[in-house]
């Protein structure tokens, strides 16, 4: 299941959880066509990898998080372990997204 981050407080809590598990963050926007295209695959991966936390951040609603993470385009997928970003995939490339999850999980 994919969870939406609704506040900076939730973001901080999520980074705390990433000390135990890989966290994959989809920085997205409702108006972004490629974001909508990759969304079903992101949801599918969340079921395939139950030990990985999958979340979405709406860049329009959470601009502080977007700026803190250095997001310049959507979709951008960032991977966190131990509260630290360990990798990033920019664009709606499902194969790259899946490969990174498999290698880091």
> Active-site positions?
32, 35
How far, in Å, CA of 62 to CA of 60, rounded? 6
What's the farthest any 2 CA atoms get from each other in the chain?
33
Contact 91, 68 (CB under 8 A): no
Element housing 78 (H / E)? strand 76-81
**Structure-token pair, residue 85:** 């970003």
**Coil, helix or strand for 21?**
coil
């Amino acid at each position: 299941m994919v969870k939406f981050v609704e506040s900076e407080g939730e973001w901080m809590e999520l980074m705390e959880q990433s000390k135990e598990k890989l966290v994959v963050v989809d920085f997205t926007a409702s108006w972004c066509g490629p974001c909508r295209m990759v969304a079903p695959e992101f949801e599918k991966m969340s079921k395939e990898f139950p030990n990985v936390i999958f979340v979405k951040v709406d860049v329009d609603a959470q601009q502080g998080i977007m700026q803190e993470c250095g997001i310049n385009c959507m979709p951008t997928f960032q991977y966190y372990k131990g509260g630290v970003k360990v990798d990033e995939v920019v664009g709606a490339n499902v194969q790259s997204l899946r490969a990174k999850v498999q290698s880091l999980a």
